[in-house]
Amino acid sequence: MKVLANDGISKSGIKALEKGGFEVITTKVAQEQVANYINKNAISVLLVRSATKVRQDIIDNCPTLKVIGRGGVGMDNIDVDYAREKGIHVINTPASSSESVAELVFAHLFSGVRFLHDANRNMPLEGDSNFEGLKKAYANGIELKGKTLGIIGFGKIGKAVAKIGLGLGMRVIASDKFVGNAEIKVDFYNGQFINVDIVTEPMEDILKHSDFISLHVPAQDGYVIGKEEFEQMKDGVGIVNASRGGVINEVELIEALDNGKVLFAGLDVFEEEPTPAVQVLMHPKISLTPHIGAATLEAQDRIGTELAEQIISLLKSEI
């Protein structure tokens, strides 16, 4: 059986699949040619990340396809229900990238509270001629310890963010329509740990009480954060979105940054991805990354291995 990993797969994933009796193809096929390639090469398994879209046209026109796998959490680039109605297995790896995304959230938080994103732009330009001026400009940093971190969306990634926040000494509060409470286990390097119970609250309370807000929600039709939500936040709040583009109204975000309601934002995802708005890219109060939440070597190894294990389990009788 053949596997097309169109958006790539880790060496550990390839090794596991080959050991399981699969042939793995890592050729990058253009979106408009995916269906033809699958049919021409009798592909049984299509693996994607966020780049390749698997819509009804591919599902309808590829009779050899048995499994569609998403390396990561969100599956908004796949017509999941339609594929399953057609008898195709659709799988993802919800746990594999949680820690990597959570660490990126805090990279943005640390960058924001110490102005690193802006300092790294200006130091090469003015560091030799305006050192004291820049020192004064970035002198009003903020510590995360003791502050309130509000998490909107308390799934696996939200809980991983909570662990880091608790480890830093932050007060962590959370909101989720489907999670009432959770026990967060905070592990330390020497095998010790603490358990912290977090009971979720209405989103209005998260907006009202948080010093920093991190979003971990799936793609959806409307905004989660817009003008009304910004108005409910504390003055000087920091906000990070490493979930999906389009859950924050970027026009309202820019306005909130300009009027001081929001101190800084950290964005890994964008409304107009992969061509984010210039106003967002150029704003001095936004820390930017190009959708790399799960892009660590460790996460990609876990993703590849987890996909391989699921595929082998689903198709072992046919290998």
User: What average pLDDT does this structure show over 289-301?
Assistant: 95
pLDDT digits 0-9 by tens, 194-221: 999 999 999 999 999 999 999 999 988 8
273 tagged catalytic: no
* Rounded CA separation 35/55 (Å): 10
- Is the pTM of the predicted complex or chain greater than 0.85? yes
Task: Please give the C-alpha separations between residue 142 and each of 206, 212, 238, 264, in angstroms, as whole numbers.
Answer: 20, 11, 11, 12
The yes-or-no answer on residue 244 being catalytic is yes
pLDDT digits (tens, 9 = 90+) for 100-131: 999 999 999 999 999 999 999 999 999 999 99
Q: Which pLDDT band, with edges at 50, 70 and 90, does 24 fall under? A: very high
Helices of type H across 127-221: 131-137, 156-167, 203-209
pLDDT at residue 317 tops 90? no
Distance of alpha carbon 211 from alpha carbon 4, whole angstroms: 44
pLDDT of 280 above 70: yes
Give the containing element (helix H, strand E) for 90. Answer: strand 89-92
Of these residues, 108, 291, 302, 306, which one is catalytic? 291
Which is it for strands 181-187 and 193-199: parallel, antiparallel or unpaired?
antiparallel
In percent, the amount of the chain with pLDDT more than 70 equals: 100
Integer Cα distance of 75 and 55 in angstroms? 11
- Residue 30 CA to residue 25 CA, distance in Å, equals 14
Name the average pLDDT for the chain.
96
d(CA 52, CA 67) in angstroms, rounded, equals 15
Q: Residue range 14-35: average pLDDT?
A: 97
Query: 225-254: buried (b, 16+ CB within 10 Å) or exposed (e) per residue?
Result: beeebbeebbeebbbbbbbbbbbbbbebbb
The catalytically annotated residue of 126, 204, 272, 298 is 272
Active-site pick, 49, 108, 244, 283: 244
Residue 318: pLDDT over 90: no
CB 188 within 8 A of CB 168: no
Asked whether residue 319 carries a pLDDT value surpassing 70, the answer given is: no
Q: In this structure, how many other beta carbons lie within 10 angstroms of the beta carbon of residue 87?
A: 8
Q: Dump pLDDT digits (tens) for 241-271.
A: 999 999 999 999 999 999 999 999 999 999 9
**DSSP 8-class letter at 147:** P
User: What gap in Å lies between CA 102 and CA 95, rounded to an integer?
Assistant: 12
Residue 164 has pLDDT above 70, yes or no: yes
Q: Which amino acid is at 234?
A: K
What is the pLDDT averaged over residues 47-58?
Answer: 95
pLDDT at site 72: 87
Catalytic: 55?
Answer: no
How many other CB atoms are found less than 10 A from the CB of residue 219?
Answer: 14
Q: Which domains does the chain have, with CATH numbers?
A: 2-94+297-315 (3.40.50.720), 98-288 (3.40.50.720)
Mean pLDDT for the stretch of residues 94-99: 90
